[in-house]
Structure 1
Amino acid sequence: MTETDPPRAGAHESDRHPFETGLDRNPANYVPLTPVSLLARAAASVGGRVAIIDGARRLTYADLYTRCRRLASGLARRGIGRLDTVAILAPNVAEMIEAHFAVPMLGAVLNPLNTRLDPATIAFSLDHGGARVLIVEAEYGALAARALADRAGPILVVEIGTSGIAGAVPYETLLAEGDPAYAWPGPADEWQSLCLLYTSGTTGDPKGAVYSHRGAYLQALGNAVTFGFTAESAYLWTLPMFHCSGWSYPWASVAACATQICLRKVEPAAIFALIAEHGVTHLCGAPIVLSMIAHAPASDRVPFRQRVRCAVGGAAPSSTIIRTMEDLGFQVTHLYGATESYGPATVCLEQPDWADLPDDDRYARMARQGVALATLEAAIVADPDTDQPVLQDGLTVGEICLRGNTVMKGYLGNPDATARALAGGWYRTGDLAVWHPDGSVEIKDRAKDIIISGGENISSLEVEEVLMRHPAVMLAAVVARPDATWGESPCAFLEMKPGATAPTDRELIDFCRERMARFKVPKTVVFGPLPKTSTGKIQKFVLREQARAL
């Protein structure tokens, strides 16, 4: 029985166990977990340390805490309170970090919006999430104006810079209205909703994953420990903060009292320059970001002395990318997760004996999705039909399932989708994987991306890995194409490196035949730019349609 359980029928206080008597919660020994407390601690302990570098701006932890309290107070004075939604449309600027603390301070819910979406989708998110405030940075003023024209109902618009939206309140004016000593209430309960993150749905409307204060706090600690953050760390924002709340790194960086360096636009020249100027030690990104860095022209590259830890999520990086990144001074770590898991859920932990492996074998190990973060309860590979864990033999395929405090509360206003995603007490990722004897998981494909050719299962990821070893290939995506003989056959879409000459179909097929089983070799090859989502992921559903039309 816990303190919240009802007493047993007929039970008296004297019947309670000694460990349940006189040991109740009170403010001295129980405070709801919230990432906001991480900022309060940092301001109190290292207030003079630089927390944020944003161009020429420098904010210390004391500055950051004061500005967040002013923003929370200013919103409160304009009628915003507990569980009200505050949306923000902005690039990776200091104000985006401030919003990740100020809005939860108030007990309100932050809704970071994807700046790459169309006005109609943004309007849907504002309506569905019930946004009462929209904070918009000047660069996205026109986009916000079009989105607001597509929706009805009042909303307070707060502009960072000059957005051009009539009636917008300047961000700094709102801060000036606020109390720098604001006694923020925080959450009434650590299960209280903190963030609303919309997934970029490929069919139908986006789904809004809801985070809790408890989950965000624990994910911050899990990220900090996993990525080796310390107070000496300098984290470069190459990952958009609107994506899974920047994989929860706004909170993780503050948990470690690290410095966050803002970057409005991901450009290799700017990345190299900032790494060298500010001694960057950590950065994150999708595989496309690593590809941009790895293939940056020599004129964009600036030498730096430190080793930079680089976490990559999404599809596993190819061995070619890992090799190039290491040569440039980066240490690549593969993370795996989803919007529904606050970003990273598993990490590929490098083992001491990997150093003795041949490079190709070591890179293959590094590309695994790995094991659960310390703050995730469990990550397993289960048989989708029986829900039982598969053998840890590295061969049996099942679905990756996650469980723990860093799994979303559910999808806002969508109980059916929530029930499906969290069925059986696990978050069903939809990713097919094997489970290795050392406990690490390795994705073989999305369930919908497996190619079945002549009764044989072909992993599109395996074929893509081989294709990206070709010296001219920068990105590869493989999907199923209808085949009269085999049912399906692999169709490869390839994007070439800048300045590279595309090989002929025959040259590429011969290249593959030397490196994989013949039945896995693509029977069709298409050259050209690959369609990508707003977060840089390749849109395979678009390519499947193109393959069917060939």
Structure 2
Amino acid sequence: MTKATLADWLDDLAARHGEREALVDGARRWTYAELAVTTERIARGLVTVGVGKETRIGILLPNRAEWLVTAFAGFRLGALVVALNTFSPAPELRRSLVHADVQLLVVQPRFLGHDYLARLGEMSPALPGDGGPLFVPEVPALRRIFMVDDLERLAGAGESVPLEVVRALQSEVAPAELATVFFTSGTTAAPKAPLHDHAALVHQAGVLAEAFGYTPDDRWWAALPLFFTGGFVTGALATLAAGATIVLQAGPDPDAALDLIQHERPTILIGSNLVPALLEHPRLAGTPVAFRKGMAGNTPIIAKFCPADHLCVGTYGMSETATCVTSTRATDPVAVRRGSNGRPLTGVVLRVVDPASGEPAPSGVDGEILVRGPSLMRS
């Protein structure tokens, strides 16, 4: 299992892929080297407001570069990054902030039909505050809220912090320390908040990139929200692990998606609710589509959206295991990739047991799936 922190891993990627394109957000672009430097700048700014090891940083943003920049800046300092669902109504958002003890929140004021400042105001009339320290009983751990557009100002304040301070703090972060909180979808109960450490996420990124057959020439269409583990781990981290490019799409606009697909030529497709709408869009027939890799290779929709010789794989996983625990491989025969959810990934042990007795379930009999492996959540 890989033993590295996410910040050290990013620095290693920058050393290996320096001038390759890492991140695209509209007209804004970053190479791997530029992405590493940008996260250091934001980390210096975060130091000025007291962020350090175990500080809980909440990110309430759509898919934009600042999501990843803030996360990796926090990882450099040993902070715990809390991914917040931008679809959450005020009561659920408050529950997430309180449950995760979020101390610093980075938020975009509005996006599409969502007014996040109004949602904060529903929690307490003292929110969102004026940028200074907060002491609000309704969210008792929360001390500061930064608008996303304030990050550059924060980075400017961080120019007074020697870079060596950030690097010294980064050197004190261990791979076994916690890195992220991602809330589950809450389909059958209240959302849970699995915790994952640095080593688990770095390991998972490399394993997935290899299983999915990613190369530095690939480009991920990042329409799946980064606040889901699927977006952050199978999408962003696995793409970076291959030295490939993340192409961000913020919202569910089919026309904007087709423009992006045409101009940026992404090759990686990972679950997006936009795909059914795109399949029915009159512009699709005239839009060159380059998708060949990704997930859901054993579903009918991929056959409609990708060429016959695509390398998409079938997978199985969950938030608690930092996404996939099984996968077919991009190198598997077509019949295998289209007819299976795959076999265990490196280091994963799976058992199917009778839930009452705990004994192995016979072949063909339903049972409970037990998982052990390096990407399992921390208790």
Q: Pick the TM interval, shorter chain.
A: 0.7 to 0.9
Could you tell me which residue of structure 2 aligns to residue 275 of structure 1?
261
Taking the TM superposition and a 5 Å limit, the aligned residue runs for 1:423-442 are none
Could you tell me which residue of structure 2 aligns to residue 345 of structure 1?
325
Could you tell me which residue of structure 2 aligns to residue 304 of structure 1?
288
Separation in 2 of the partners of 1:369 and 1:102? 35
Could you tell me which residue of structure 2 aligns to residue 201 of structure 1?
186
C-alpha distance 352-126 of structure 1, shift in aligned 2 (>3 A): closer
Give secondary structure in 2 for the equivalent of 1:401.
strand
Unaligned runs of 5+ in 1: 1-29, 162-169, 356-361, 411-550
Give secondary structure in 1 for the equivalent of 2:9.
helix
Amino acid at match of 2:146: V
C-alpha distance 107-399 of structure 1, shift in aligned 2 (>3 A): same
Separation in 2 of the partners of 1:55 and 1:235? 14
Identity of aligned residues (%): 28
Of 248, 257, 265, the residue aligned with 1:262 is 248
Displacement of 1:342: 0.7
TM-score scaled by structure 1?
0.60
Taking the TM superposition and a 5 Å limit, the aligned residue runs for 1:144-159 are 144-147=117-120, 149-150=122-123, 151-153=138-140, 154-159=142-147
Unaligned runs of 5+ in 2: 124-137
1:132-153 per-position Cα deviation (integer Å, ceiling 9, x unaligned): 1110123358324423541343
1:492-533 per-position Cα deviation (integer Å, ceiling 9, x unaligned): xxxxxxxxxxxxxxxxxxxxxxxxxxxxxxxxxxxxxxxxxx
How many residues are aligned here? 356
* Pair 1:134-2:134 in alignment: no
Amino acid at match of 2:281: P
1:6-27 per-position Cα deviation (integer Å, ceiling 9, x unaligned): xxxxxxxxxxxxxxxxxxxxxx
Separation in 2 of the partners of 1:350 and 1:132? 42
Could you tell me which residue of structure 1 aligns to residue 26 of structure 2?
55
Does the CA-based 8 Å contact 2:5-2:174 persist in structure 1?
no
Separation in 1 of the partners of 2:312 and 2:334? 14
Does the CA-based 8 Å contact 2:214-2:293 persist in structure 1?
no
Structure 1 runs of 4+ with >6 Å offset = none
Separation in 2 of the partners of 1:91 and 1:255? 22
Displacement of 1:371: 1.1
1:390-447 per-position Cα deviation (integer Å, ceiling 9, x unaligned): 34x4x2222222111101003xxxxxxxxxxxxxxxxxxxxxxxxxxxxxxxxxxxxx
Of 145, 157, 167, the residue aligned with 1:183 is 167
Could you tell me which residue of structure 1 aligns to residue 128 of structure 2?
none
Taking the TM superposition and a 5 Å limit, the aligned residue runs for 1:390-409 are 390-391=361-362, 393=363, 395-409=364-378
Displacement of 1:202: 4.2
Does the CA-based 8 Å contact 2:219-2:265 persist in structure 1?
yes
Q: What is the root-mean-square deviation in Å for CA atoms of aligned residues? A: 2.7
Could you tell me which residue of structure 2 aligns to residue 380 of structure 1?
351
Displacement of 1:335: 2.0
Could you tell me which residue of structure 2 aligns to residue 231 of structure 1?
216
Displacement of 1:331: 4.7
TM-score scaled by structure 2?
0.85
Separation in 2 of the partners of 1:352 and 1:204? 37
1:101-144 per-position Cα deviation (integer Å, ceiling 9, x unaligned): 11111101001101111111111111111111110123358324
Displacement of 1:224: 1.1
Q: Which has the larger radius of gyration?
A: 1
Could you tell me which residue of structure 1 aligns to residue 131 of structure 2?
none
Does the CA-based 8 Å contact 2:325-2:348 persist in structure 1?
no
Taking the TM superposition and a 5 Å limit, the aligned residue runs for 1:282-361 are 282-286=268-272, 288-293=273-278, 295-304=279-288, 306-312=290-296, 317=299, 319=300, 321-326=301-306, 331-349=311-329, 354=334
Displacement of 1:175: 1.6
Could you tell me which residue of structure 2 aligns to residue 73 of structure 1?
44
Amino acid at match of 1:269: D
The answer to which structure, 1 or 2, has the higher relative contact order (CA under 8 A, 6+ apart) is 2
C-alpha distance 110-370 of structure 1, shift in aligned 2 (>3 A): same
Query: Structure 1 stretch 205-214 or stretch 180-189: which is displaced more?
Result: 180-189
Taking the TM superposition and a 5 Å limit, the aligned residue runs for 1:27-38 are 32-38=3-9
1:56-105 per-position Cα deviation (integer Å, ceiling 9, x unaligned): 11112222111111112211221111111000111111111112311111
Displacement of 1:367: 4.9
Separation in 1 of the partners of 2:2 and 2:274? 39
